[in-house]
Amino acid sequence: MPELYIGNVSKQIHQFAYRALERSGVIIQPIPIGGQIRLSPNGANIDLTTPEIDYIIGQHRSYGLTPINELDANRNPFSGLVYSIGKPISADKLRRAMVKLEENLNEFGRKIRQEAALAMNTQMEQQFNQPLRQLEMSFEEVEPKAGYSDDVNHLSEGVRVTRDADLGRRARR
């Protein structure tokens, strides 16, 4: 019978909560940052049946739990949790998954800032009752009191919303 490994590629400790077949209640196993666990629903048994594995994975798939082998082909954002059936996840795969999650989060942040600029532009047009030709918004990360960490990218970015007669409104970096 196979084993189920769950990897955490987020930057916070994850409390992996799940239900197991033929056992009442919720089981919680902590997963360290950049680490992985081998699930053992009853504390000792690490060999799970295929229906048990499918049941556990099914509880988290809709929240972004992704098979580690499909991570490179998966274009959708994932939750920061990955899994492997039958063998542990290599340190290199965990590292690459951490990089991919960071890239996904950065791109998501960029998209949110662009949408916020468009929303602000629309709000200002409604308030002034006339179209704006151009709106610029900028975002700059303020240095924390404890100082910058060497392993973190620091952000400073601008978004320009312009009105073009042919194209309508659009956000640009």
In the beta sheet, which residues pair with residue 6? Answer: 37, 83
pLDDT of residue 88: 95
Domain that holds residue 9: 4-89
Q: Is 105 contained in some domain?
A: no
CB within 8 A of 69, min separation 6: which ones?
Answer: 84
Pairing outcome for strands 81-85 and 134-140:
unpaired
Residue 32's closest CA among 77, 85, 80, 66?
Answer: 80
Residue 83 CA to residue 85 CA, distance in Å, equals 7
Are 136 and 81 within one domain?
no
Query: Nearest CA to 85 among 55, 48, 42?
Result: 48
Residues 60 and 20 in one domain: yes
Both 34 and 82 in one domain: the answer is yes
In the chain, pLDDT over 70 holds for what percent of residues? 83
**Predicted model pTM:** 0.73
Number of independent structural domains in the chain: 2
Residue 46 lies in a domain: yes
Supply the pLDDT for residue 131: 82
- Does the residue 102 lie in any domain? no
Residue 13 pLDDT = 95
Condensed to tens digits (0 to 9), the pLDDT of residues 1-48 reads: 689 999 999 999 999 999 988 888 999 999 999 999 999 876 666 788
> Is residue 106 domain-resident?
no
